[in-house]
Structure 1
């Protein structure tokens, strides 16, 4: 099965939205998460807006910063 750019972008956006929901639920700002992860705030913004295809390393870093299980970030709402 071939993954189209449209499918990839849709999942990037869903994942980014979910990361944002979890972050806001923990009352953390993008700057807070960026500081914990040692990233720029713009990196967190790009992730949350689905404008970047993150690596597994970045995903794990975010789960540790947000103190959530990785599976929680894939609980998408349709």
Structure 2
């Protein structure tokens, strides 16, 4: 069975580091099964970095996400077989 790893790279600003990243990503290309620069993480990063973005929106979203994770974890516990 094949094993997959997802790798997210924050692109550096300076030219020397960009060259290193390009060399490494070029070396990985024979093994790549998919590439995306228009994914949810990238889009969210651009939204949160916008000058008009209210940081309270991100705080609220993270709070809701934590609550969702807790709810899912509780559901897992409720669905465990009882012995």
TM-score, length-normalised on structure 2?
Answer: 0.25
- Between Structure 1 and Structure 2, whose CA radius of gyration is higher? 2
Structure showing the higher helix proportion among its residues: 1
